[in-house]
Structure 1
């Protein structure tokens, strides 16, 4: 009789222990699949079923019917398995949807970052381009000022043209300019084009330098300027009387640096209204007119 009583108490304890073990295994499995949200989002009916089953097992064990308790435990296990399958079936699409949403957000974030970087690079390139243009402009202005104020010490030529100082490596011959020759150039420009536009002064200097390069004229600046019957201010003495002004000096400097108001093959000019001899006008090809002077080749 005592033995039966002990067995009666052992059976309920074992049943309760099995229930706890089963419940713990279900919780661990739910956490692995869904995380903490799985247990929170468990359908209310499933939770109620779990509570009812536990309560039923407890009542059965208390009444002392071991066989009935075992049967109830089996039914509870089957119910838990069905509940697990239901939760899994419901949770899997949600997990897939969340994964897709996360990936879509990551893609949008990456695209936004890429677009931002592209805009930044474009802005930086535009800034660098603007700075480069400003630097080039400043350098050009500095070069232009230098061309006006500082004459080159040497002229560089090819057979057909006067070169700039930057292109001197292309020259086939060069001509060192003395201070006396520089003054002669300034005086002849002043004497010939004192009342002419600045471009006309540069053009007169161009003609002198074109003759220096040409094989049909003397080989020095002095001899080109003082060649007989070529420049009227030399013949009438005006060249010796004038003092070059700032425009004449700058025009000569720029012409020697390579500024050209007329082409390299322009070798003549005259004022049609003042010239006594119009042979050039009738025999040479006109290039252009600047002020009162007409230039020919």
Structure 2
């Protein structure tokens, strides 16, 4: 009798854990009066395009009370790592430049030419044997991210998939690898040239 009770309790616990594990990625957002797809994407750290795709929306219009399924975004750890990279890499650059640096990392994750995760892209070693990003090489990536860089990451996540497809950025006054200058320039922000 006791073993049957233990077995039943174990089955119930397993079923509960199974249910929780498979529903954790789905979040529902009820549209409020001042919400836009942009603000919803910023709040949840996901792209506008992903929200539209998840909800079969062809426009950016939302209505008060509408229920939107929010797709799973990046982990808090990935978001923090990306913010630390942006903070170190784009220190002293305009806000738009910080967003663009974060966007380069996200574009690399989505490109077949680069690794498939934020962490792998950030810590990737170049063909010369050095880390691809200077803050990884000099250790400044380990310093806390500033508030503006954290906001820039949220904006880059919301904007994902809508930019120029930049995969690289460099400061022409500091770059030692002249190969980067052969890439197509997508935009110039502050001291950085962005390219693909």
Same fold (TM over 0.5): yes
- Alignment deviations for residues 116-143 of structure 1 (CA, whole Å, 9 cap, x no partner): xxxxxxxxxxxxxxxxxxxx99334xx5
Does the 8 Å CA contact 2:172/2:193 hold for their aligned counterparts? yes
Question: In the alignment, which residue of structure 2 is the partner of 1:208?
Answer: 105
- Alignment deviations for residues 150-184 of structure 1 (CA, whole Å, 9 cap, x no partner): 424xx6xxxxxx934233357xxx87522211111
Q: Which sections of structure 2, spanning at least 5 residues, go unmatched?
A: 1-31, 57-70, 126-130
Does the 8 Å CA contact 2:81/2:119 hold for their aligned counterparts? yes
User: What TM-score comes out, normalization by structure 1 length?
Assistant: 0.44
Question: In the alignment, which residue of structure 2 is the partner of 1:88?
Answer: none
Q: Which sections of structure 1, spanning at least 5 residues, go unmatched?
A: 1-135, 156-161
Separation in 1, partners of 2:162, 2:192: 12
Task: Choose the corresponding residue for 2:146, options 245, 252, 273.
Answer: 245
Does the 8 Å CA contact 2:49/2:160 hold for their aligned counterparts? no
Does the 8 Å CA contact 2:86/2:149 hold for their aligned counterparts? yes
Separation in 2, partners of 1:261, 1:233: 27
Of Structure 1 and Structure 2, the greater helix share is in: 1
Does the 8 Å CA contact 1:199/1:261 hold for their aligned counterparts? no
C-alpha root-mean-square deviation of aligned residues, in Å? 2.7
Q: State the aligned residue count.
A: 146
- Inter-CA distance 198–137: structure 2 relative to 1 (3 Å threshold): farther
By how many angstroms is 1:260 displaced? 6.9
Question: In the alignment, which residue of structure 2 is the partner of 1:193?
Answer: 90
Task: Choose the corresponding residue for 1:139, options 35, 57, 60.
Answer: 35
Does the 8 Å CA contact 1:272/1:278 hold for their aligned counterparts? no
By how many angstroms is 1:187 displaced? 0.6
User: What TM-score comes out, normalization by structure 2 length?
Assistant: 0.65
Does the 8 Å CA contact 2:42/2:157 hold for their aligned counterparts? no
